[in-house]
């Protein structure tokens, strides 16, 4: 009984622990979002204008976890091209994710 409680406590704590801050070249928070805005405008804006829907769906109300969004950027899907690391560097991608976080608004209600 007791070991199970300890195990559950450890799992609970590790799930609720704060996530690590952004990696990348030491730029965090607002600065990362600003750097992300530049990269976003260069690579993403024509299909997801300002985070809203265009040719692609809106990204500012997308509740998908970051790793899925990163996967989509790296591998593409349907009409969305893939952007590999020689085009969108890992730092750029971190910054784009920070920018999208800053642009986030309430997720759309399920229809
Ligand atoms: C040429 C147009 C185009 C460009 C450029 C583009 N996208 Fe997309 N994106 C799309 C389309 C179209 C979809 C929908 C794909 C599908 O589901 O078939 C999409 C889907 C997505 C999704 C998944 C959204 C969802 O709800 O499924 C994410 C995340 C995303 N794009 C991020 C980005 C980011 C970040 C960039 C810039 C690095 C980018 N896209 C550049 C066209 C584009």
The CATH number covering residue 51 comes to: 1.10.760.10
100 backbone dihedrals φ, ψ, rounded to 5°: -65, -35
Is 89 touching ligand 1 by the criterion CB < 6 Å? no
Q: How far is the CA of 36 from the centre of ligand 1 (A)?
A: 16
* 94 in any annotated domain: yes
Question: Which one is predicted more confidently, 3 or 45?
Answer: 45
**What is the C-alpha to C-alpha distance for residues 68 and 41, in angstroms, rounded to an integer?**
20
Binning pLDDT at 50, 70 and 90, where does residue 93 land? Answer: very high
Ligand 1: which residue has its CA nearest to atom 18?
78
User: Between 19 and 3, whose confidence is greater?
Assistant: 3
Binding site membership of 70 for ligand 1 (Cβ less than 6 Å): no
* Per-residue tokens: 58: 């809106």
- For residues 101 and 18, the model is more confident at 101
Does the C-beta of 61 come closer than 6 Å to ligand 1?
no
Domain of residue 58 covers 2-103
Any idea of the CA torsion for 47, 51, 56, 61, to the nearest 10 degrees?
180
Atom of ligand 1 nearest to the CA of 69: 29
> Comparing C-alpha atoms, which of 79, 38, 40, 73 is closest to residue 56?
79
| pLDDT at site 14 | 58
pTM: 0.79
Interatomic CA distance for residues 28 and 95, integer angstroms: 8
Number of domains in the chain: 1
Answer whether residue 109 is part of any domain.
Answer: no
């Amino acid at each position: 009984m007791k070991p199970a409680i300890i195990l559950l406590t450890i799992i609970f704590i590790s799930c609720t622990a704060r996530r690590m801050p952004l990696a990348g070249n030491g730029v965090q928070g607002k600065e990362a979002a600003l750097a992300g805005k530049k990269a976003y405008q260069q690579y993403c804006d024509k299909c997801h204008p300002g985070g809203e829907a265009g040719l692609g769906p809106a990204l500012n109300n997308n509740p998908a976890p970051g790793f899925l969004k990163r996967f989509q950027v790296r591998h593409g899907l349907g009409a969305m091209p893939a952007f590999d690391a020689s085009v969108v560097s890992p730092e750029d991608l971190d910054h784009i994710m920070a920018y999208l976080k800053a642009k986030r608004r309430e997720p759309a209600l399920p229809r």
